[in-house]
Amino acid sequence: MARLILLNKPYGVLSQFTDAKSPSPRPTLSGLVDLTGVYPAGRLDRDSEGLLLLTDDGRLQARIADPRHKMEKTYLAQVEGDPSEADLEPLRRGVTLNDGPTRPASVRRIEAPEFWPRDPPIRVRQSIPDCWLEITISEGRNRQVRRMTAGVGLPTLRLVRWRIGPWAVEGLAPGEWREVRAP
């Protein structure tokens, strides 16, 4: 039976178990998950928080991470600016990035979620408004949501992956994990 672990990856932690390449070691998954034989199914950049799935099953890992399977990932993004519906339309149609066009995303404005505090907190500029967006994509390029929002003039200040397919981070504090039944 395959193992599937839901982890709420904190800000500043690498989505890997070792950091051998860095001259000064940075926090990794090994400081959070004391299990052997499980590996991340996809990645979440160091500056992002939220759901990271770990499994010991290569086929399940591929089904979760491979863009060909189009498993949806939902992010809650705090962006700089106060976009109108028209400003969000390019995200819904797909944005052309330096590595090609993205698939269309589902995007809507949401009220500010009640999250755990981030350490360090985001930068706040009193003269520039910000808002929260719920963004669902079906691919997973490097820093894709950040590049998409920046590409339409809405730089991301905080990014939390909330859901991957049927699994959500709800109920997990940063650094906490739980094992669930694998499909």
Residues that are catalytic = 45
| Angstrom distance (rounded) from CA 108 to CA 85 | 8
Q: Cα–Cα–Cα angle for 174, 179, 183, nearest 5°?
A: 125
| Angstrom distance (rounded) from CA 126 to CA 145 | 24
Using DSSP, state whether 108 is helix, strand or coil: strand
Q: Which two tokens stand for residue 183?
A: 């499909």
Q: Which two tokens stand for residue 95?
A: 């944005």
